[in-house]
Amino acid sequence: MMKMLSSLVAVVSIGTGLIVTYVLYKVPEKPQFNLERWWGIGTKPKQEDVAIRPFDVDFNDTMIQDLKQRIRNRRPLTKPLEGIQSEYGMNTIYLEKILAHWVDKYDFKGRAKLLNKFPHYKTRIQGLDIHFIRVQPPKAEGRKVLPLLMLHGWPSSSKEFDKVIPLLTAPRKGYDFVFEVIAADLPGFGFSEGTNKPGLNPVQIGIIMRNLMRRLGFDKFFIQGGDWGSQCATHMATLFPNEILGLHTNMPLSSRNLSNVKVLLGAFFPKLIVDSRYVDRIYPLRKLFFYILRESGYFHIQATKPDTIGVALTDSPVGLAAYIIEKMAICSNRDQLNTPHGGIENLNIEDVLDTITIMWANNCVVTATRIYAEGFKHPEVAIVQNIPTYVPTAAINFKYEVLYQPDWILKDKFKRLVRSTVMDIGGHFAALQTPQVFVNDIFEAGVAFLKYHDEQRGDKS
């Protein structure tokens, strides 16, 4: 009898193991998508507008005067508790200094002029006016020109790339290529139109961005993305592997079921999984979970009730500034909560105010924030996340990126991880905080991508 029970237990254990293995390693079928789904107001017209129109950034006088009046007429702000700097959130004493700078020293017209040093355009894709910057490199004999689509995250816009665009489009000694940059505003962000229809999640945004590139004449191109831009770019690589020549991401994440289990298993043998220099970026999990719990309140609000918080942020520039600054600060250096600035001084204040001003001027905080809700409501997102991509991928992890995963986990999603870099500096807004390092890695990624494609052509010959 005992022998029979032992055999039964063994069979059940083996069966359970096989089922678990099947679930973890199973790759779902790629969903079928309507690549022309209409996101504009009303129904799709018979004749679409496909024009590409020049566009100028303009911070108009009416907006500026209203903004300054609202800031000056604010109610008194509650001061921090005794001995508290930024541990409870935005330090309002420090915020007063930023507000004074915004009203008295921030040069609205001058900052718009700086943004307009690049050629800006708009074109209607699937019913939405999409804004983008397009900068072509100077003619350089003997150099390849690599088309690079750059995608930002929340709460940013294409403005996030204004420091790196000149560096990426300039010929560089030792490299036989240069980039042509297309930096787009995601739908509902910056100067891009938002939708009035539910369902515009990062997968669908990826389709819009792919169609934007096709509108511009690019059947094959490279992508760079961070934050939600990284998610959109990753989905593009998964869905359109024959069109994406390479993916560079400064927020590399694998959300496959297998990866989530690996993270938990790694807690028992962290040094076997993660380079000992970077173990503390993910383990012990207790510390990681505490950090996530402490800093993800905004995430839960935006993923569940974005329109509610949107009312407060739409009506008050002071509230909008506090909300955005606090999140940009913690993502730039989470170890500086014990300072009045909370980490925001790792970024240039003018860049921070550009980001807030663009969101205020376009009244787009709600349409931008809804990406959190859309990203978690639709099963198609989880399905695409669980499908590996075989597009050559380059990953860079800056020290204060929101989350860190070692290559052992990243390779669950990115099967052709041709380059992986871990930095001891920098944070989430890498193009603003450490532009030169950011650009250096993109150029090195370009080398790795071209080498990969050369080897593939060699294999076929």
Question: pLDDT confidence of 10, banded at 50, 70, 90?
Answer: very low
Question: pLDDT confidence of 459, banded at 50, 70, 90?
Answer: low
pLDDT attached to residue 2: 54
Catalytic residue positions? Answer: 227, 372, 428
Question: pLDDT confidence of 272, banded at 50, 70, 90?
Answer: confident
pLDDT attached to residue 126: 98
* pLDDT(24) > 80: no
Burial 198-235 (b: 16+ CB within 10 A, else e): eebbbbbbbbbbbbbbebbebeebbbbbbbbbbbbbbb
For the chain, give the mean pLDDT: 93
Question: pLDDT confidence of 15, banded at 50, 70, 90?
Answer: very low
Q: Has residue 11 been placed in a domain?
A: no
- Average of pLDDT values for 118-130? 98
Token pair 């532009």 in the structure block, residue = 435
Q: Has residue 3 been placed in a domain?
A: no
Q: Has residue 6 been placed in a domain?
A: no
Q: Has residue 46 been placed in a domain?
A: no
Token pair 């004749």 in the structure block, residue = 47
The pTM (predicted TM-score) of the whole model is: 0.93
CB atoms near residue 261 (< 10 Å):
15
Q: Has residue 58 been placed in a domain?
A: no
Q: What's the rounded Cα separation, in Å, for the pair 299 and 324?
A: 12
Count of alpha carbons within 13 Å of 411, Cβ hemisphere only?
Answer: 9
pLDDT attached to residue 252: 97
User: Shortest CA distance to 298 belongs to which of 361, 373, 234, 353?
Assistant: 373
- Average of pLDDT values for 182-211? 98
- Give percent of the chain with pLDDT exceeding 70: 94
* pLDDT(314) > 60: yes
User: Shortest CA distance to 342 belongs to which of 354, 357, 327, 356?
Assistant: 327
In 274-364, which residue ranges form alpha helices assigned H by DSSP? 285-295, 297-304, 306-315, 317-330, 349-361
| Residue 337, domain CATH | 3.40.50.1820
DSSP class per residue in 73-96: TPPPPPPPPTT-SSTTS--HHHHH
Judge whether 101 and 349 are in contact, CB under 8 Å: yes
Question: pLDDT confidence of 105, banded at 50, 70, 90?
Answer: very high
Q: Under 8 Å CB-to-CB from 185, ≥6 apart: which residues?
A: 130, 131, 132, 152, 157, 158, 191, 192
Summarised one tens digit per residue, pLDDT across range 248-268 is 999 999 999 999 999 998 888
Summarised one tens digit per residue, pLDDT across range 366-376 is 999 999 999 99
Question: Edge-to-edge, what's the strand order for the sheet holding 144-151?
Answer: 52-55, 120-125, 128-135, 177-184, 144-151, 221-225, 244-249, 393-397, 417-422
Q: What's the rounded Cα separation, in Å, for the pair 126 and 61?
A: 32
User: Shortest CA distance to 348 belongs to which of 425, 433, 431, 426?
Assistant: 433
Q: Has residue 120 been placed in a domain?
A: yes
pLDDT attached to residue 415: 98
Q: Has residue 151 been placed in a domain?
A: yes
Dig out the tokens for 35 from the structure: 């690549």
Q: What's the rounded Cα separation, in Å, for the pair 405 and 251?
A: 10
Dig out the tokens for 441 from the structure: 């890695």
Summarised one tens digit per residue, pLDDT across range 28-52 is 999 999 999 999 999 999 998 999 9
* pLDDT(305) > 50: yes
Summarised one tens digit per residue, pLDDT across range 128-157 is 999 999 999 998 778 999 999 999 999 999
Torsion angle of C-alpha atoms 58, 155, 192, 59, degrees rounded to 10: -10
User: Shortest CA distance to 358 belongs to which of 350, 72, 104?
Assistant: 350
Number of domains in the chain: 1
Q: What's the rounded Cα separation, in Å, for the pair 246 and 207?
A: 17
Q: Has residue 329 been placed in a domain?
A: yes
User: Residue 208 sits in which domain range?
Assistant: 63-460
Q: What's the rounded Cα separation, in Å, for the pair 218 and 336?
A: 43
pLDDT attached to residue 270: 87
CB atoms near residue 130 (< 10 Å):
23
CB atoms near residue 91 (< 10 Å):
25
